[in-house]
C-alpha cells in the first residue's frame, strides 16, 4: 500500500468511526481540513503537523494515567508510556543539544509554569514554601498576593513588555506569573524597534530580578541570548528563554551561537506546534541542576501527562532531526524576509524595519486603520493574520495598531519567496482599499475587492496542496 493510500485510509477510517457515534463531529473535523486547505494561513503561531504526527495522537495511549516520571509513576502499567516518553526525551535532547528534556507540559503556558516553579523552588528558602501551603489563594487580594511574594523573598521578574512582543506569561497580570512575580518590563529602542541591551543591563542592575525572561510572541528580530545570559550572571538572576515561537528555527540551526537559547540559558521552555511543526503541547529543556525541580511539574502544576501527545512529540522531534527540516527552517526566514521586503516596497511600515525570524509586524496606522479593522478586512479577503500591539501602541492590546504575519504554515505548504511577493500585493490591495468606520472595529471595504483578493488567494494556493497525500472525500 502506498503512503498516499495508508494515510487516506487511516483518516477515512477514523472519520467513519467518529461519524457512527456523532456525525456532526466527523463533519466538523472534515470541514476543518477543507477550511485549512482553502485559507492563506499567516498566523505566526500556527503550522500544519504531518500526518504521522496527527495519527500518533489518535489512539489508546490516551487512556493511560501516568503521573510521575519515567520509571517512577504513581500508576501501575505505565511501561509503554515510559517507552514513549523516553523516546520523546531522547529525540528532544538530541534535537536541541540539551542536557535535560521534560516533555510532559500540555502547552506553552504550562511549560512556563513548570519553569517558574522550578526556578522558585531552586532559589527560595524552604520556610517560605511552607508558609504558602497554608494559604487559600483563591480569594486573595492584591495586598495578600504582595504578602505571598514577600514570603518568597520578593521575587522579581524582568521580561519583555507586551507591546514590544512579550507574552502574557512573562509576568503580566492576566496570567498567574503576574501575581507570582513583581514584574518589570524591558522594551525596544524607539528608533530601531530592537532590544536595547544596554538599557536592559541598567534595568537589571537596578531591579535585581530573580529571573530574566528572554523570548517573545511578536518580536521580529533575533535575540542575543549570550548578552542576556551575561546580564543575568551579573545580577545573580536565573536566565529563562521562552522559545515557543522560534523553536523550529533553533531546531533547524538558523539560530545558533549567541542566538541559540539552549546554549545560553539556564532553562528554556517551548511549545511544540508552532515553527517546530509538532502536536499541540509544550516542553522544558534545562541545565542538570534544575532537572529535579522540573520533574515535579506533574502534579505540581500539570495534570497527568498526555501519553498520546508525547508520542506525537517524539515523532515531530524525529522529523525535525532530519536534514530537510533545516532547509524548511531557513525557508521560513527567507519567506518572512521576502514578505517584509514586498510590503515595504509597497509602502508599508514594517516594525523594526524588517525581520530575522518567522514573523513580520506591520503598523497599520499607516492606512488609517486599527489592527482590529485590518485583521477583519484581510480575513474577509481570505488572508488569515492576527492583530497585535506594536511598540508604544496607542490602541492598546484589544484594538491594536499592528498586524502580525507569520510564514511557518505557508512554508510547510511549499510557498516560496515569489509567492510571498504576491501575498504582499494582495495585502497591500486590501489595506489600501479599506476605510476606517465609525468605531475602532468598523470599516468599509468594497465587497468586489475582497472577493477578488480571496479568489486570487485561492488560486495562489491551488499549486500548493495541503496534505497532498490525504484524500478523505
Residue closer to ligand DSN, measured from CB, 68 or 178: 178
Residue labelled with grid coordinates 507574552 = 167
| 274 is a catalytic site residue | yes
Active-site residue, selected from the candidate residues 46, 67, 82, 421: 67
H or E element in which residue 249 lies: helix 247-251
Task: Please indicate if the annotation marks 91 as binding a ligand.
Answer: no
Q: Please give the full DSSP string across 262-298, using - where no structure is assigned.
A: HHH-SEEEEESSSTT---S-EEEEE-GGGHHHHTTHH
Q: Which is nearer to ligand DSN, 161 or 434 (CB)?
A: 161
Q: Which residue, 111 or 472, has its beta carbon nearer to ligand DSN?
A: 111
For residue 422, the minimal CB distance to ligand DSN (Å) is 25
Q: How far is the CB of 175 from ligand DSN (least distance, A)?
A: 10
Using DSSP's 3-state secondary structure scheme, residue 237 falls into coil
CA angle 180, 184, 187 (to 5 degrees): 135
Residues that bind ligand DSN (CB under 6 A): 45, 108, 167, 217
According to DSSP, the β-strands at 68-69 and 238-242 are unpaired
The answer to whether 399 is a known catalytic residue is no
DSSP string of 75-125? SS--HHHHHHHHHHHHHHHHHHT-SEEE---SSHHHHHHHHHHHHHHHHS-
Is residue 162 part of an annotated ligand binding site? yes
The answer on whether 167 is annotated among ligand-binding residues is yes
Q: Which residue is nearest to ligand DSN (CB)?
A: 45
Identify the active-site residue in 179, 221, 274, 413: 274
Q: CB of residue 162 vs ligand DSN: minimum separation in angstroms?
A: 11
User: d(Cα 297, Cα 288) in Å, to the nearest integer?
Assistant: 15
Residue 139, number of CB atoms within 10 A of its CB? 6
Q: How far is the CB of 43 from ligand DSN (least distance, A)?
A: 7
67 noted as active-site residue? yes
Shortest distance, position 388 Cβ to ligand DSN, whole Å: 9
Torsional class of 137: left (φ above 0), alpha (ψ -120 to 50), beta (otherwise): alpha
Q: Which of 7, 85, 163, 242 is catalytic?
A: 242
Q: Which is nearer to ligand DSN, 66 or 351 (CB)?
A: 351
Which one from 93, 149, 226, 280 is the annotated catalytic residue? 280
Give me the catalytic one of 19, 65, 226, 432: 65
- Give dist(CA 304, CA 278) in Å, integer: 20
**DSSP helix/strand/coil, 363:** strand
CB 217 to ligand DSN: min, Å: 4
Between the alpha carbon of residue 264 and those of residues 167, 317, 327, 344, the distances in Å are: 20, 21, 24, 33
For residue 139, how far is the Cα from the chain centroid? 31
User: Is 168 annotated as belonging to a binding site?
Assistant: yes
Q: Which member of 169, 271, 412, 434 is catalytic?
A: 271
Give yes or no: 280 in active site. Answer: yes
Task: Report CA dihedral (28, 31, 32, 33) to the nearest 10 degrees.
Answer: 140
Decide whether 104 or 217 has the Cβ nearer to ligand DSN. 217
Nearer residue to ligand DSN within complex by CB, 152 or 246:
246
Contacts of 324 (CB under 8 A, 6+ apart): none
Residue 356's nearest CA partner among 327, 333, 325, 339 is: 333
Residue 314 or 351: which CB sits closer to ligand DSN?
351
| Edge-to-edge strands, sheet with 282-286 | 100-102, 282-286, 267-271, 238-242, 211-215, 156-160, 182-186
Q: Considering beta carbons, is residue 295 or 356 the nearer one to ligand DSN?
A: 356
Contact 330, 252 (CB under 8 A): yes
CB 283 within 8 A of CB 110: no
| Smallest distance from ligand DSN to CB 407, Å | 14
State the minimum distance, in angstroms, from the CB of residue 399 to ligand DSN: 17
Write out the binding residues.
162, 166-168
Instruction: Provide the annotated active-site residues.
Output: 65, 67, 242, 271, 274, 280
Write out the binding residues for (6S)-5,6,7,8-tetrahydrofolate.
162, 166-168
Amino acid at each position: 500500500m502506498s503512503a498516499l493510500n495508508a494515510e487516506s485510509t487511516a483518516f477515512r477510517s477514523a472519520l467513519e468511526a467518529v461519524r457512527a457515534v456523532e456525525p456532526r463531529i466527523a463533519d466538523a473535523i472534515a470541514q476543518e481540513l477543507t477550511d485549512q486547505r482553502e485559507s492563506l494561513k499567516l498566523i505566526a503561531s500556527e503550522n500544519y503537523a504531518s500526518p504521522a504526527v496527527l495519527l500518533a495522537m489518535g489512539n489508546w495511549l490516551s487512556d493511560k494515567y501516568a503521573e510521575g516520571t519515567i520509571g517512577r509513576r504513581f500508576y501501575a502499567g505505565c511501561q509503554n508510556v515510559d517507552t514513549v516518553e523516553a523516546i520523546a526525551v531522547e529525540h528532544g535532547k538530541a534535537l536541541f543539544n540539551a542536557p535535560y528534556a521534560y516533555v510532559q507540559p500540555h502547552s506553552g503556558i504550562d511549560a512556563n509554569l513548570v519553569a517558574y516553579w522550578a526556578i522558585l523552588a531552586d532559589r527560595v528558602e524552604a520556610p517560605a514554601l511552607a508558609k504558602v501551603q497554608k494559604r487559600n489563594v483563591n480569594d486573595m487580594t492584591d495586598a495578600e498576593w504582595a504578602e505571598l511574594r514577600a514570603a518568597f523573598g520578593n521575587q522579581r521578574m524582568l521580561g519583555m513588555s507586551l507591546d514590544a512582543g512579550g507574552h502574557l506569561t512573562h509576568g503580566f497580570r492576566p496570567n498567574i506569573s503576574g501575581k507570582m512575580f513583581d514584574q518589570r518590563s524591558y522594551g525596544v529602542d524607539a528608533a530601531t524597534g530592537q532590544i536595547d541591551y544596554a538599557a536592559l543591563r541598567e534595568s537589571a542592575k537596578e531591579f535585581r530580578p530573580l529571573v530574566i525572561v528572554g523570548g517573545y510572541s511578536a518580536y521580529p528580530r533575533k535575540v542575543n541570548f549570550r548578552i542576556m545570559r551575561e546580564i543575568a550572571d551579573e545580577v545573580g538572576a536565573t536566565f529563562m528563554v521562552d522559545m515557543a515561537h522560534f523553536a523550529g528555527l533553533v531546531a533547524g540551526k538558523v539560530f545558533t551561537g549567541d542566538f541559540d537559547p539552549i546554549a545560553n540559558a539556564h532553562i528554556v521552555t517551548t511549545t511544540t506546534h508552532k515553527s517546530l511543526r509538532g502536536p499541540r503541547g509544550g516542553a522544558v529543556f534545562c541545565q542538570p541542576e534544575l532537572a529535579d525541580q522540573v520533574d515535579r511539574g506533574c502534579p505540581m502544576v500539570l495534570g497527568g501527562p498526555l501519553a498520546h501527545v508525547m508520542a506525537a512529540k517524539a515523532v515531530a522531534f524525529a522529523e525535525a532531526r532530519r536534514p530537510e527540516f533545516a532547509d524548511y527552517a531557513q525557508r521560513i526566514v527567507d519567506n518572512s524576509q521576502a514578505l517584509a521586503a514586498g510590503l515595504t516596497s509597497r509602502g508599508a511600515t514594517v516594525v523594526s524595519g524588517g525581520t530575522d525570524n518567522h514573523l513580520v509586524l506591520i503598523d497599520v496606522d499607516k492606512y488609517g486603520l486599527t489592527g482590529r479593522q485590518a485583521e477583519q478586512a484581510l480575513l474577509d479577503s481570505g488572508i488569515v493574520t492576527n492583530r497585535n500591539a506594536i511598540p508604544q501602541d496607542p490602541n492598546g492590546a484589544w484594538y491594536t495598531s499592528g498586524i502580525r504575519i507569520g510564514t511557518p504554515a505557508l512554508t510547510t505548504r511549499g510557498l516560496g519567496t515569489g509567492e510571498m511577493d504576491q501575498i504582499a500585493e494582495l495585502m497591500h490591495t486590501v489595506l489600501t482599499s479599506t476605510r476606517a468606520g465609525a468605531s475602532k472595529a468598523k470599516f468599509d471595504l468594497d465587497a468586489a475587492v475582497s472577493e477578488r483578493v480571496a479568489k486570487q488567494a485561492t488560486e495562489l494556493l491551488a499549486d500548493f496542496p495541503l496534505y497532498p497525500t490525504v484524500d478523505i472525500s
